Amino acid sequence: MLKNRLIAVSLLVVGVLVSYFAVQTNETKFPYKFGLDIAGGTHLIYRADTTELDSAEISDSMSALRDVIEKRTNLFGVAEPLVQTESGTAIGGEGKEHRLIVELPGVTDIHQAVEMIGQTPLLEFKLAEEVVSNSNLETDFVFIDTGITGKVIDKAQLQFNSTSGEPAVLLSFNKEGRELFAKVTKENIGEILAIFLDGQTISTPVIREEINDGKAQISGNFTPQEAKTLVRDINYGALPVPIELISTQSIGASIGAETLDKGVQAALLGLLLVIIFLILWYRLPGLLAAVSLLIYISLVLSIFKLIPITLTSAGIAGFVLSIGMAVDANILIFERLKEELKIGREIDSAVREGFSRAWLSIRDSNISSIITAVILFWFGTSLVEGFALTFGLGVLISMLTAITITRSFLLAISPKKDTKFKKKLFNSGINFPK
């Protein structure tokens, strides 16, 4: 009995601390993150240059483009950017163009948003061929494509010269790139192999010998940050097609602070009504379930802060739905408890047996809900992922609070000697055996 009470008191203390963490509103440490529809953000539109692609390749290239940009803007998988592609009539009504749309919640600085997307790492190696102008006999260069681009690069690394300290980028080619690079360097010893980034020359090294190990180094007038950014863009995935930013817009919250406040007030009112129902119908167990439910809500909100999870209207709906699942679990337990008390069991025994018998139903219903959440998260879009993540996480934690916390509270206050009055504290509407 003493052990059960110590566990219950410990859970209650932890619950109070977690609740404080969940409700405190320090904006510098663990603030809540809200999605574009609540907190606003930035809307960017890029035009994709697909002129060099066959019509059969466009769809796959645009899908790859979307995946690369989504990786860059959502490195931890919880920021919920909306990245999608679309096609339509080009500006001016001539032809068809393909566009990439990016929405970044909480990022109201357009310059910061563009930096998050990054520059187009269109990396090309071209041979410089010397030509002489007929009019003034001046020497000039024309550049010939070699087919070596960022698509054949396996990875990039940042290095610093041990003597000068200047940054450089070391490239490692994949199998296709290694063979192509070896062929170009073997056939053009003594020639300039210029390196272009987004159409601008960044390095003009001379080929001294055949390079067959698939390694190349880019050096030039890089700052450390520029070199680091280039390495990041190449490693996160070279864009399969060039893109051009054609539209930027800072979006205000579509729900707004006032609407969000009203939503929170409605949720609190609903929670209060549920607590009143639990207490009136189940009496003492209902009161303990209400305390367990508050701990559950605080625990989930704290996890939302710590990960952190970006809360959209869809994500909040998933969390509210998981609260309903937590209440359902308690109701199943209490109904089993009523049945055990009806057949004459002592309170302590009825509590243990009620939890044991209700567990199978709770387990099966929650597992089916979690499977549904996993399927939605795996196959859904970014907006659906937000709903699935908060719902699945909430259901998982509700199993812990219903089975562990509520049970510990009930066992802690179960009387050693039962009386009809004490049994009535645990239930209502039961005609107990005489």
Which pLDDT tens digit goes with each residue over 295-352? 989 999 888 888 878 787 788 888 888 888 888 888 888 888 888 877 878 777 888 8
Let me know if the fold of 2-34+254-426 is the same as that of 123-238. no
Q: Which residues pair with 244 in a beta bridge?
A: 47
From CA 21, how far away is CA 24, in angstroms rounded? 5
State both tokens at 10: 């410990």
Strands 33-34 and 310-311: parallel
Q: Which residues pair with 89 in a beta bridge?
A: 96
Alpha carbon 153 to its chain centroid, in Å, reads 27
Q: Each residue's pLDDT tens digit in the chain (434 positions)?
A: 677 778 888 888 888 888 888 887 655 577 787 877 777 778 888 888 888 788 888 888 888 788 878 777 765 444 567 788 888 776 655 667 889 888 887 777 778 777 767 655 577 889 988 776 666 656 678 889 898 887 788 888 888 888 888 888 888 998 989 999 999 999 999 898 888 876 778 778 888 888 888 888 877 677 888 788 777 767 766 677 888 888 888 777 665 667 677 777 877 888 888 889 888 888 888 888 889 889 989 999 888 888 878 787 788 888 888 888 888 888 888 888 888 877 878 777 888 888 888 888 888 888 998 999 999 888 776 668 788 888 899 888 888 787 788 888 888 877 666 666 555 655 554 444 44
From CA 369, how far away is CA 410, in angstroms rounded? 27
CATH assignment of 2-34+254-426, among 3.40.50.1580, 3.40.630.30, 1.20.1640.10, 3.40.50.2000: 1.20.1640.10
Residue with tokens 């097609």: 241
At 275 the three-state DSSP class reads helix
**What is the model's pLDDT at position 44?**
87
- Residue 410 CB contacts under 8 Å (≥ 6 apart), including other chains: 285, 288, 351
Q: Which residues pair with 144 in a beta bridge?
A: 127
Give the DSSP letter of residue 188: T
Q: Domain-by-domain residue ranges, the chain?
A: 2-34+254-426, 41-117, 123-238
From CA 392, how far away is CA 388, in angstroms rounded? 6
Q: Which one, of 111, 145, 150, lies nearest residue 129 by Cα?
A: 145
Q: How distant, in Å, are the alpha carbons of 210, 323, 385, 401 from that of 329?
A: 70, 10, 25, 10
Q: 48-98 pLDDT, tens per residue?
A: 888 878 888 888 888 878 887 877 776 544 456 778 888 877 665 566 788
State both tokens at 416: 């050693």
At 419 the three-state DSSP class reads coil
State both tokens at 236: 């996160």
From CA 285, how far away is CA 5, in angstroms rounded? 15
What count of other Cβ atoms lies within 10 Å of the Cβ of residue 357? Answer: 16
Give the DSSP letter of residue 87: E
Residue 308, preceding peptide bond in cis (omega within 30° of 0): yes
From CA 365, how far away is CA 111, in angstroms rounded? 47
User: DSSP E strands: which ranges in 90-242?
Assistant: 96-105, 123-132, 139-149, 153-160, 167-173, 192-197, 200-203, 215-219
Q: Which one, of 211, 231, 213, 214, lies nearest residue 222 by Cα?
A: 231
| pTM > 0.75 | no
Task: Please name the fold of domain 123-238.
Answer: Gyrase A; domain 2 (3.30.1360)
From CA 165, how far away is CA 409, in angstroms rounded? 64
